[in-house]
Each structure stands twice: as C-alpha cells, then as structure tokens.
C-alpha cells in the first residue's frame, strides 16, 4: 500500500510523517506500507498540472491531505490565497484521487460553524461560516464531495503539535516577555493534538471508514481555560487576565462556541478518545 502525505511541513503533516516512519504504531509495524511526503516546494496543490504529475509519479493508494491555508486573519484580505489552497487545491487533489482510484483523507475545521448553537456541534448541523477562512474550508468540503465518493473528511479544532503555528507556542512566547497575559474567556472549542488526529485517522483507515466526521479530543474549553492549563503544566507563574475576544479587534470574526462532538467517530471505531487536558499534558511532557 502506498500512502502519499501532502503538506509535510505543517504540524499535522510532520506528525503523520513521523508516525508512518520511525514512530509507526505496533499494529502497523508489519504492514507493507510505503509512505511518501511532499510539501509546497514539491507540489503546489493549487496547480492542477503539478498535482496530476505528482500522482502519475507516486501512484498512491491513499492520500492524506494536510496542506492548508491556516492564516485566519490574513484570509480576510488574502481570500484569493485562502481559496486557492483550501478550495481549488482540495478540488485538484480530489480530482487526481478519483482519476487514480485513490482514497482521500482531508481535514476541515470547526470554523465552518457560526457559534450560535447551544451545545456541541454534530455532523448533522448546518455549516454557516462567519469568516473567509471558514468559508474557504467549507468550499473545499463541497468541491471534494463533488469530485469523489471515496473520502474521509475530518473537521478538527484548535490543533497543536510540533511547530510554531499554534496557540501553545505563541502563549509560551508571550509569557517570556509580558508582565501578564490577556486571554479570551468567551471563545470556546476543543484543543486537539496532532497525535490524536493521526491515531484516529490511522484507525479509521484500518476500519474502512468513509464520510464526514468531527475529530477532536474530548471535552471543550475557553481560550482562557486552555491557557491556564498550559501554564500550570509548564509550571509558569504568570497572571492571566480573562477578557472578551472583542477587545483584540481581530480582522476575522471567531465563533463564540464552536466545540464539536466526537461521539460519532468514537462510536464507529469503538474507541475512547482522550480528553483534552490529559492529551495536553502528554504533549507538554507533564502527565503524571
């Protein structure tokens, strides 16, 4: 079996590359899996010709698309750039998968929702994104479904892993230079590790799961609660002042509550997905 990872330089792509390489889980060790990873230098997914050439050379059985435009605020003005990657690029990859009879795994976001629901979002809830990033990701979902029936779409939220493009890295950097931190108390979702995403994705592929699912760690938190948990785990004594997200006056609107239920994928796979606090402490190396 040949697996192609697209977007190898992002935090999720790096986790997949490691897990399918030197950190392959025990149940996968004896599987005959060849894995190839590419980044934007090797293939710009917005370029149809480059995508088709890549598929001709690799001939993958499974494609894991980790490539994404994740700059939420920048997307408000650079919406063309966001749509090129998150919509057109996804369509190109899906088209190539259909042409080469490859199964596609793709990742979307909780930002396809507007945050107005009272309760956890499920796969049955109607998306209604309120920023350009969310709209571009929803467009990618729609275009993917139009191209191929052989797919897994996982909506994820507040993803963190190896790298600098996540809240944990930024928070720890702020803590080095600021007397105290202002963190939003009125923005809720679920911190989710790349380790959890990779674990569940590989189990889903093993089980032959298809369709659209929400994939997060269990539970939910505000940005403020998440920040407190991070600093406590790292034993950093820094005062955090809870504030409304509105005071930051960011270009892109954020949903107030976009936490999603992972019950559907957990039930389908017969798994207990770790809660976000313990997974966070595992990631930070502080889990007792």
Q: Could you tell me the pLDDT band of residue 2, with boundaries at 50, 70 and 90?
A: very high
Give the CATH number for residue 48. 3.40.50.720
Domain boundaries, position 62: 2-166+190-220+258-274
Average pLDDT value for residue range 18-29: 70
Within a domain: 17:
yes
Within a domain: 226:
no
**Cα angle 42-45-46, degrees, rounded to a multiple of 5:** 125
Within a domain: 177:
no
Hey, CA dihedral for 11, 34, 39, 140, is it positive or negative? negative
Q: Which sequence positions are flagged as catalytic?
A: 133
Within a domain: 49:
yes
- Decide: residue 49, CB within 10 A, 0-12 exposed, 13-18 middle, 19+ buried: exposed
Within a domain: 175:
no
Asked whether the predicted pLDDT for residue 20 surpasses 90, the reply is no
Q: Look up the pTM and report it.
A: 0.95
Number of other residues whose CB lies within 10 A of the CB of residue 181: 18
Within a domain: 76:
yes
Within a domain: 242:
no
Q: How far is CA 62 from CA 59, 65, 92, 145, 269, in A?
A: 9, 10, 15, 16, 19
The count of structural domains within the chain is 1
Q: Could you tell me the pLDDT band of residue 30, with boundaries at 50, 70 and 90?
A: low
Q: Whole-angstrom Cα distance, residue 182 to residue 157?
A: 21
pLDDT by residue (tens digit) across 69-84?
A: 999 999 999 999 999 9
Within a domain: 181:
no
Q: Could you tell me the pLDDT band of residue 163, with boundaries at 50, 70 and 90?
A: confident
Would you state the pLDDT for residue 23? 63
């Amino acid at each position: 079996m040949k697996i192609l990872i697209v977007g190898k330089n992002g935090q999720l792509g790096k986790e997949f590359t490691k897990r399918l390489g030197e950190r392959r889980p025990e149940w996968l060790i004896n599987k005959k899996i060849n894995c190839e990873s590419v980044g934007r230098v090797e293939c710009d997914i917005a370029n149809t010709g480059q995508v088709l050439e890549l598929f001709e050379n690799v001939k993958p059985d499974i494609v894991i698309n980790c490539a994404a435009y994740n700059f939420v605020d920048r997307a408000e003005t650079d919406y063309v750039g966001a749509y090129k990657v998150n919509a057109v690029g996804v369509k190109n990859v899906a088209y190539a998968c259909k042409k080469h009879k490859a199964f596609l795994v793709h990742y979307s976001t909780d930002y396809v929702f507007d945050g107005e629901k009272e309760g956890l979002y499920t796969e049955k809830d109607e998306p209604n994104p309120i920023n350009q990033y969310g709209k571009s990701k929803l467009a990618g979902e729609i275009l993917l479904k139009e191209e191929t029936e052989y797919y897994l779409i996982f909506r994820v939220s507040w993803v963190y892993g190896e790298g600098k493009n996540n809240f944990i890295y930024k928070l720890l950097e702020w803590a080095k230079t600021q007397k105290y931190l202002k963190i939003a108390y009125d923005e809720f979702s679920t911190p989710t590790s790349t380790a959890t995403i990779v674990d569940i994705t590989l189990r889903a592929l093993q089980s032959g799961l298809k369709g659209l699912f929400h994939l997060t760690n269990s539970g939910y938190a505000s940005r403020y609660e998440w920040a407190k948990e991070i600093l406590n785990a790292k034993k950093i004594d820094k005062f955090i002042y809870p504030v409304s997200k509105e005071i930051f006056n960011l270009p892109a609107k954020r949903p107030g509550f976009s936490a999603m239920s992972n019950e559907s994928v957990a039930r389908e796979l017969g798994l207990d997905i770790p809660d976000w606090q313990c997974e966070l402490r595992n990631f930070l190396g502080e889990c007792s």
